[in-house]
Structure 1
Amino acid sequence: MLTTSRRFLLGALAGSAALAGCGILDREPEPAPQPDALQPLLDEALTLAASYDRAIVAQPDLAARLTPLAEDHRAHATELARVIGATLPSAGPSASAPTAGDTTATLRKAEQAAQKTAVAACKAAPPERAALAGSIAACRATHAEALR
């Protein structure tokens, strides 16, 4: 009779362990991962680069002035994507046509708004990311001044 009790007890323990291991007894599912805090900077860098590209198409005489600024934003996007492990969209011809809103004044306002986003990201970032966000904020402020 002692053997039967041990077998019963061992079987019950094994069954409980199997149920616990398969997740039936888990209370809540794993939460969805939060987007990276630097993702807004990446999105803005891509948007700004595309805005400059459209402005250059609309006003080719500004290409020498605007191309380096667009290239800065593409470089920022590349570095941000590397840091957060994101994949950049494939490079290709711009899908959107130039608009009347893609002027230097509009680009300046966009740079100023994006600079504020970068400053906020810099303040909230851990030290290993703050330098990148701060560098982007400084570059965006410089762009805004260059567009005066």
Structure 2
Amino acid sequence: MLGAGLMLTGGLAGCGSDADSPTPVDALQPLLDEALTLAIAYDRAILSLPDLATRLSPLAADHRAHAAELATLIGRTTPTSASASSPASAMSAGATADEVIAAFQTAEQSAAKNAVAACRATTALRAGTVGSIAACRATHVEALR
């Protein structure tokens, strides 16, 4: 009986060890996720409305570049997928070009605000990259006008 109790106690001892703890989420992870989500949303919109490709492709490329830079800052590999919720997926299949552009304007405004907030909250070492992303997202809002 005593042996069984020791085995049980020994098995529980490792439950709270640091080795089993999940890696904490980096504060820039939401910005990375948002960049990937926007890139995918632009890609989907371009597939649905090819006439917008010239206008939207550079914005999608910017978001992919942002995701790569953020992944480097965080110390992770760049994920290849993101959340299914995006401006383009929220629209019906028959959305007009004007509706798609309006949805992206709203998404980019929100993304720019998120990047500014992240820039203010991050370390000095990361602020340059995050600030550049915030500025780029602000230019996207203007490019979509």
Match for residue 113 of structure 1 among 107, 110, 114:
110
- The 5 Å alignment of 1:1-148 reads 29-30=17-18, 32-90=22-80, 99-100=91-92, 103-148=100-145
CA distance in 1, matches of 2:40, 2:104: 11
Query: Which of these two proteins has the greater Rg computed from alpha carbons?
Result: 1
1:145 shift after superposition: 1.1
Q: State the TM-score, normalized to the length of structure 2.
A: 0.73
Q: State the TM-score, normalized to the length of structure 1.
A: 0.71
In structure 2, stretches of 5+ residues that fail to align are 1-12
> Could you tell me which residue of structure 1 aligns to residue 9 of structure 2?
none
Q: 1:90 to 1:33 in 2, by over 3 A?
A: closer
Aligned residues: 119
Per-residue CA distance 1:84-135 (angstroms, 9 max, x = gap): 11222348xxxx9964367011011111111111011100111110111111
CA distance in 1, matches of 2:118, 2:47: 31
CA distance in 2, matches of 1:55, 1:146: 16
Question: Percent identity over the alignment?
Answer: 60
RMSD: 2.4
Which residue identity lines up with residue 130 of structure 1 in the other structure? A
Q: 1:50 to 1:90 in 2, by over 3 A?
A: closer
